[in-house]
Each structure stands twice: as C-alpha cells, then as structure tokens.
Amino acid sequence: MGNFTFTETGINGVYIIDVKAYGDERGCFMETYREQDFALAGLGCRFVQDNQSSSVKGVLRGLHFQKTHPQAKLVRAISGEVFDVAVDLRKGSKTYGKWVGALLSGENRRQLYIPRGFAHGFQVLSDSAVFAYKCDDIYHPEDEGGIIWNDPDIGVAWPLAGEIILSQRDRLHPRLAQCKTEF
C-alpha cells in the first residue's frame, strides 16, 4: 500500500486516506485509487460510478444518503478546499448519529472513504472547488434521502460562518429524529 496511507477516524469504517504524489518541475502524478491496495486495507468495495461537482464558496451540499440503495463513497477535492462530513446512520452502531469531518483539498490530496449507511455532505471553503467521488452503487434519484445540515442533535461544526448557500431540496430535509433509515 505504498501510495496510500489509511487512517481510521473515530467512526468505524470511515477512513482518511493520504495519497502519495510524485512531483518535479513539470507538476505531479498520483494514483487516487487502486482496488488491490484498498482491499488490503479492508475497504473491499467495487466502485461503479464516478461523480463530479463544482461549487463556489459557501455552498453546502448535504447531508445526503440513498434510502434502500446505500452507497459507499471515496471522496476528494480535485481543486479548492472543502470540509467533508460523514454521519453514521447505521442502526445499532455505537456511533449512530455521530459525525466525522475532514478538510479535503487539491493541495493536500486527502480523500475520505465513507462506507454504506452514512449521510454525506460538504461545505466549500475556498472561492471555488471541484469535488469528485466514486460510488459502489449507481444513483437512484427516487431513493434519495437527506438530513438537515444544521440538525442540533448531530451538531456538525461547519467551519465557514456567514451565508450558507443551499439548494431548495437541502433546505427541506428533516432532522435525523424524523428520518426512517434502514441501515
């Protein structure tokens, strides 16, 4: 696992992944995923869909999950800087309703692995950011669920104060206590 360092977080199954980059005067090269290395680290899912978004400073996307088609995700910022969050929705988990966050940027090349059974969201901290993620199941729009970003029972400490830019859909998500999750 020479190009990846897998660091456990305070929530079982969620890992921060540091990626080794090789650079010279021309720029740099890095692997962002290698199935064998991830499997050796115990992260043995097969990714079937890649997604990418671009956002401006203050945008907060989330907290999203798929209700009956949960997705494991490997997320990263290609450019810019985001604060990325995973919330444990696994019933019976000792960390149910708890969150973990990581600063991801094009500069630090850090990734976050989020297993199935989590809500996910991120806030853009830089002027703009390009965000990419791999999923181990395809997106089913009819299966989408969400939790309000500022649920006081979860208490995510979003770092950017001031105006938060949300989609209309994200403004209407319920609190975790009102969600019916089956994980």
Residues designated catalytic: 64, 133
- SS3 of 80-117: the string is CEEEEEEEECCCCCCCCCCEEEEEEECCCCCEEEECCC
Residue type, 94: K
CA-to-CA distance for 135 and 70, rounded, in angstroms? 9
Region label for 39, one of left (φ > 0), alpha (ψ between -120 and 50) or beta (otherwise): alpha
Q: How far apart are the first and last CA of the chain?
A: 30
Residue 48: which residues within 8 A CB-CB, separation 6 or more?
135, 136, 137, 138
User: How far is Cα 131 from Cα 3, in angstroms, rounded to an integer?
Assistant: 21
